[in-house]
Amino acid sequence: MRRRHPRQQFPLGSGDVRRGVWRAAAAALALAVLAACGSSPDASGPSGTSGSGQSPAKLTVWFMKDSLSDAIVQRFRTDYERAHPGVTLDIQIQEWNGIGQKVTSALASNDAPDVIEVGNTQVAEYAASGGVKDLTDKVADLGGADWLPGLAEPGKIDGRQYGIPWYAANRVVIYNKELFEKAGVTPPKTRDEWLAATAKLNKGGDQGIYLPGQNWYTLSGFIWDEGGDLAVNEGGRWKGVLDTPQALAGMDFYRRLQALGKGPKDSDEANPPQADVFAKGDVAQIIATPGNATAIVTANPDLKDKIGFFPIPGKTADKPGAVFTGGSDLIIPEASRNQDAAYEVVKALAGEQFQTDMAKEMSYVPNRVSFAGAVQNNEGFTAMAAGAAVGHATPNSPNWAAVEARNVIKDYMTKALTGGDPAAEARKASATITEILNTAS
């Protein structure tokens, strides 16, 4: 659902970890696991104090853009401050682009934020700097025995817990039910059906799909469906493989689908925010995490009962399309001047009250098995869980973040969609990926 990813949305963990997360998530949904671990602490706990015992006037919290709706952030802030007299939360929203360097700089400073949301695979990089507080002794207090199997692992480094699992999610198709009905189409099950339905949805001045040219998260799924990958490790050396026949087939399907809409070929889903584009009411589909529906309804309340969800279609009807999955952790910088109070914020964000609210509003997978019932009847989560069974992760290399930072795949996509030779551009991009992943850090 590093991460994945960004990264604009949801950076990823290792493939084995992600598959474990999503198998457990799907099982939890199917069984509506509501049993019996005790309630975790929530925002009604005691007022936090700093390490020196002084009650802080202000705690700075960094959340990533589009992780949460404005409404849920405001509810959390209001409830928390009411339950913790004397504490003020300064919640700052950060862009995924360039966040790695910003967090690294903050961890090395003398005035770091008190709590930071990070992509789960970023935890190891940040912990290696020595700038992240070890929270191993807090795991039991946070209900760690009930954490979703596999979700906690990316935050655990050498047996120590630095990142507290917060949520996981993956992409689905968000569609306008009214436009589908007007065009006489139903949610497709296969890629061929998807292309045909989208072509029909284009009639009458509506846009069948809004798919920007640099949505590499979606491209990755098409490549994985074809049996390809972004990079592979051969004998301890990484090799970019966007130029394989399988990866090129994935890019060709992306080109065909993208051509059925009016999405820009030189930008990603954040520029402009695709939820805002969909909210205008004349776009039939976007590919996004279910939580984007909240932003759509905020921008256009008239669409509240017109939004539907379905899994990204696969090559055959028996299996949905592969998806890029990811999630976020919470960390406390060693440079925080209010570590004890910061922990109380983490405890509330990881606790039952907030996790349940977040799961219902954002359709995310909550961090604990016993919270799964909060989303058991949620259409967006149901579509997400179906795709989760075939979820994948980015290559498990500590240098992958540099591939993203340099926009290697995004630039390749734009060139391939604007007249460049896809095979030639894929070879160039693969060579760059190979170089980056094999560079000593």
Task: Establish whether the linkage from the previous residue to 272 is cis, with ω within 30° of 0.
Answer: yes
The verdict on 271 and 156 lying in the same domain is: no
- CB of 126 closer than 8 Å to CB of 101: no
Looking at residue 441, its pLDDT comes to 60
Q: What is the overall mean pLDDT for the chain?
A: 86
**Are 166 and 176 found together in one domain?**
no
Assess whether 319 and 379 both reside in one domain: no
Residue range 407-432: average pLDDT?
98
Give exposure, 27-43, as e/b (b: 16+ Cβ within 10 Å): ebbeeebeeeeeebbbb
The number of CA neighbours under 13 Å toward the Cβ of 215 is 27
**Nearest Cα to Cα of residue 138 among 126, 129, 127, 147:** 147
**Structural domain contains residue 8:** no
Q: Is the residue at 300 inside a domain? A: yes
Residues 271 and 415 in one domain: yes
User: Which spans in 190-284 are helix H?
Assistant: 191-201, 216-225, 245-258, 274-278
**Residue 23 shares a structural domain with residue 166:** yes
What is the reported pTM?
A: 0.76
Band of pLDDT at residue 49, cut at 50, 70 and 90: very low
Is residue 268 in a domain?
yes
376 and 352 co-located in one domain: yes
| 38 and 114 together in one domain | yes
User: Residue 206 sits in which domain range?
Assistant: 172-323+397-437
pLDDT at 26: 52
Q: Based on the structure, what is the number of domains in the chain? A: 2
Query: Which range, 36-40, 67-71, 125-129, 376-380, has the best average confidence (pLDDT)?
Result: 67-71
Q: Are residues 414 and 271 in the same domain?
A: yes
Report the alpha-carbon distance of residue 291 to residue 362 in Å, rounded.
Answer: 4
Q: At what angle do helices 352-362 and 339-349 cross, to 10 degrees?
A: 50
The answer to the question of residue 38 being in a domain is yes
* CB within 8 Å of 355: residues ≥ 6 apart: 40, 167, 366, 367, 368, 371, 374
Strands 58-64 and 115-119: parallel
